[in-house]
Structure 1
Amino acid sequence: MRSADARSTGPVPASHPLARHTRLIDIVGDTARVRARGVALGELARIDNEDGERLLARAIELDGDLVTLQVLGGGKGLSSHADVRFLGRPLDTVCSTSLLGRVFDGTGLPRDGGPELTGERRVPVDGAQINPVRRRLPQNMIRTDIPMIDVFNCLVESQKIPVFSIAGEPYNALLARIGFQADADVVVFGGIGLVFDDFHFFRRSFEDQGVFHRTVMFVALAGDPVTERLPVPDLALAVAERFAVEEGQRVLVLLTDMTAWADALKEEGITLERIPANRGYMGDLYTQLAQRYERACQFLDGGSVTVLTVTTIPGNDITHPVPDNTGYITEGQFYLHDGMIDPFGSLSRLKQRVIGSSTREDHGQVMNAMIRLYAQAEEAARKQAMAFDLSDFDRRLLHFGMLFRSRFMAIDVSMPLEAALDACWQSMAECFRPGELPIRPSLVQRYFPHPEAGP
């Protein structure tokens, strides 16, 4: 059982106008109902159970004086005679540099054994969307040293983009690498329903790579109540927004896994007996996802918030409601399968804003040529599989395809953008003559490693 002070929320303000309530009408799953007047939607409550356990809850539905509470610590063991006190404020979190290098749970309380951050300024997690006139058009690239991102689908400051993947793929390893290699000032990590091994992997990775001192982690483990998964994106985004606005920091938000978050939303809707829409998910799934993703922003007079998430695809069905709705909200996706980032399934809709302007002049031409040649290599591989005769050019395409996969597509490959572009030129030079490349001649003359030598 959790300790009596594990979910402590601090003292209730003496001036709070609402009385204590000592009788819950009913308890269903992780929700409970109580009669109270003057409660606001989203208001936070403290529940003192009869056994001394203290829990947080928030009002998620109002029907006259009937208030439905979402118990963030889970409803298991909750007594109908528990003491409920409304706190007169929404769920909030500390916002200061004291957060850096700390790990918190799904309610914003310390998970790392460190002290609670008392006396610090707190901000609501359900903030309003940014006024469009305060946004600036994206124009800066975030370097990750991952060639399949930097060369072919650049990550841009203030972009919102998911990693689409099926279960079992190394998407957490990819997310961790982006976290400690990305050119960002602050990393805010949100773990949603992580098994302990994955949580330990992320923390160890950030510590070993020397970025933990500028990282904040909010983690709801798989063994925690499902309701603790729901606030994680809001906590992470609220903290990221404050660092960006008030400190002028470039903040990278990493969330995994948004499908687990959507499943928690579905479970909440079922508990509240709401009418489902598609495959059991509620009809507001798009809105719920968009409210989180749209907090990615390049501020006119501050820093930026970039949102990178993992969205697992159940059964590899891209029409599943979570990836399907996500695709309409975000600005592309990184598609991970067979341990590699697929160059054809991946897309960054903002890459044209930085390619050639903040990167080397040959970037756009090299990117297009490499993808075109790799597509031809895939076609040559199909011809070979069907026992068609292969030309000399086909055989060189097959060799190029092998080089492309080994040098660029594996997620453990790491090199700066300029080195990756040079490696692209080298790979093309090993397989093709200068005149065979679909690249502007002036760039071939300048960058081709051995223009006089054939393959």
Structure 2
Amino acid sequence: MNKVYSKIESINGSVITVRADGVTYGELAEVETSFGSSLAEVNRINGNLVSLQVFAGGRGVSTGDKIRFLGHEMRVSFSDNLLGRIFNGSGEPRDNGPALKDNLVEIGGPSVNPSKRITARKMIRTGIPMIDVFNTLVVSQKLPIFSISGEPYNQLLARIAMQAEVDVIVLGGMGLKYDDYLFFRSTLENGGALSHTVMFIHTASDPTVECLMIPDMSLAVAEQFALQDKNVLVLLTDMTNFADSLKEIAITQEQVPSNRGYPGDLYSQLAARYEKAVDFDGAGSVTILAVTTMPGDDVTHPVPDNTGYITEGQFYLKGGRIEPFGSLSRLKQNVNGKTRNDHRAVMDGMIRLYSAYKDTLEKKSMGFMMSEWDTKLLKYGELFEKEMMDLSVNIPLEGALDKGWNILSACFKGEETGLKSELIEQYWQTH
């Protein structure tokens, strides 16, 4: 039977301290107050002095309340019954459905042994040309979406959730506005994707500690589905809110701050989550796509800066579009040579010409005279932005490649594109 402690040494916001022995880091405890009971998690141990983060906050907790340690870390129920369900950061239902208590698995475990992994080699189709054609998402990849506040990153994630060719979607929301939560719920429900989706949602009004649980719960469930030979796509938004929750708790515990007040182990905390991306040898896979908002559009901010060292590229969302410059999928070469024989050529050729279009725009703004070539580039750039970059464009990879050839042939002669003559002979579209 677990020992009960009835003396709390100190209460500092949502962090309480008690003297206890035989307790482990991350262990759960139950705090019994006059208002009911609440879960708490051990997040600091100094000898026999144990600090716990109370999920419901410190309000209503008194020094005479009882604390019972449960002997295990946070756990989440796993079964196919999760599909179509929505939970909060404590694993409790948000959708008024029944609570799930069977087959509990611990969250936050170590990443998968490299000997059990295989090289990323399969494409995840999304129907978004700026991803499928130019920065292909690969099974078991870990990619952030760098964005400033106000960009439609949640709308982009919802589209990917509805269109990505995977078996299971796990959506983890951290610090979401309630409107954003309702948007995800209604969009996936109306789009028919909720039946193969599991949602773990922390809203801005929920306890801070629950925000920290969201990625671990999402990834623990995703790993279990992957072991059942399913390809799982984990969508997380927003990892900056996750990092801010780490900072808030570190400040409460009076830890020595690092860059801009974030804890010194920020890199390790982020890496522990991103490194859960895996393609199992003989089973399924976990792929991670996570929004990271950049305060002040500053990519040197500690959260995107540390993220960039961990992940395999990034998508930049700017002006409501995925920017071709700065966006990078480092694993795209593993798959885009196996799709269609013109994929790499179209990808390279169109971006090269778009770069020339940007130079021409600058010349035009400075009042330079436009040549015939400049006029062609201006027409090309407008078509490219409208028919390829716009996030409302929704076509499969082959259709996007055909559209690319259509744009090129509408603006240039075949020899002006720099593409191989055999590809031009095969795919060039006459106008």
Give me the TM-score of the superposition, normalised by structure 2. Answer: 0.99
Describe the superposition over 1:382-403 as per-residue Cα deviations: whole angstroms up to 9, x where unpaired: 1111111111010010000000
The answer to whether the aligner puts 1:45 opposite 2:29 as a matched pair is: yes
- On the 8 A contact 1:30/1:227 being kept in 2, the answer is no
What is the aligned counterpart of 1:256 among 223, 228, 237?
A: 237
Structure 1 residue 80, shift from structure 2 partner? 2.2
Residues in 2 aligned to 1:369 and 1:235: alpha-carbon distance in whole angstroms = 42
Q: 2:37 aligns with which of 54, 71, 75?
A: 54
Q: Are positions 1:302 and 2:283 aligned together? A: yes
Distance 2:237 2:14 in 1: 22
Task: Report if the CA contact (8 A) 2:349-2:418 is conserved.
Answer: yes
SS of the residue corresponding to residue 78 of structure 1 reads coil
User: Aligned match of 1:345 in 305, 313, 326?
Assistant: 326
Provide structure 1 residue ranges, at least 5 long, that are not aligned to the other structure.
Answer: 1-15
> Which residue does 2:173 correspond to in 1?
191
1:88-128: CA deviations, max 9, x gaps? Answer: 1111101111111111001111111111113x111110212
Q: Could you tell me which residue of structure 1 aligns to residue 19 of structure 2?
A: 35
Deviations 1:330-358 (CA, angstroms, capped at 9, x unpaired): 0011100111110002000000000121x
How far does residue 64 in structure 1 lie from its aligned partner after superposition?
Answer: 1.4
What secondary structure is seen at the aligned counterpart in 1 of 2:4?
coil
C-alpha contact (below 8 Å) 1:73/1:228 kept by paired residues: no
Pairwise CA distance, 1:228: 1.2
Q: Which moved more, 1:260-269 or 1:75-84?
A: 75-84
1:317-336 CA-to-partner distances (Å, cap 9, x unmatched) read 11000000000000011100
Q: Which moved more, 1:197-206 or 1:79-88?
A: 79-88
How far, CA to CA, are the matches of 2:107 and 2:330 in structure 1? 29
The Cα offsets for residues 2-28 of structure 1, whole Å up to 9 and x where unpaired, read as xxxxxxxxxxxxxx3x32112211111
CA distance in 2, matches of 1:139, 1:343: 22
1:110 aligns with 2:93: yes
Give aligned-pair identity as a percent. 52
Counterpart of 2:183 (choices 188, 201, 215) is 201
Residues 1:441 and 2:425 aligned together:
no
- Aligned position for 1:9: none
Please give the alpha-carbon distance, in whole angstroms, between the structure 1 residues aligned to 2:80 and 2:57. Answer: 30
Aligned partner of residue 193 in structure 1, secondary structure: strand
The one-letter code sitting in structure 2 at the alignment partner of 1:110 is: P
Per-residue CA deviations over 1:283-314 (Å, capped at 9, x if unaligned) read 11000000000000000121000000000000
Determine which of 112, 116, 131 is the counterpart of 1:130. Answer: 112
Secondary structure, aligned partner of 2:419: coil
Q: Are 2:168 and 1:178 equivalent residues in the alignment?
A: no
Quote the Cα distance in structure 1 between the aligned partners of 2:181 and 2:63: 34
**One of 370, 381, 392 as aligned partner of 2:372:** 392
State the alpha-carbon separation in 1 of the partners of residues 57 and 201 from structure 2: 16
Partner of 2:222: 240
1:79-158 to structure 2, matched below 5 A, reads: 79-118=62-101, 120-158=102-140
The aligned runs of 1:269-348 (5 Å cut-off) are 269-348=250-329
Deviation at 1:54, TM superposition (A): 1.6
Rounded Cα–Cα distance in structure 1 between residues aligned with 2:56 and 2:278:
32
Amino acid in structure 2 at the alignment position of 1:58: E
Please name the residue that 2:8 is paired with: 24
1:12-63 C-alpha deviation (Å, 9 max, x unpaired): xxxx3x3211221111121111111111111111111112x22111111111
Residue 12 (structure 1) aligns with: none
The alpha carbon displacement at 1:77 in A equals 2.4
CA distance in 1, matches of 2:142, 2:59: 36
**Contact 2:6-2:66 at 8 Å conserved across structures:** yes
Match of 1:371 in 2: 351
1:230 aligned onto 2:198:
no
* AA aligned opposite 1:106: G
Q: Deviations 1:171-195 (Å, cap 9, x if unpaired)?
A: 1000111111101100001000101
Kept in 2, the 8 Å contact 1:106–1:229? The answer is yes
1:166 aligns with 148
Deviation at 1:166, TM superposition (A): 0.2
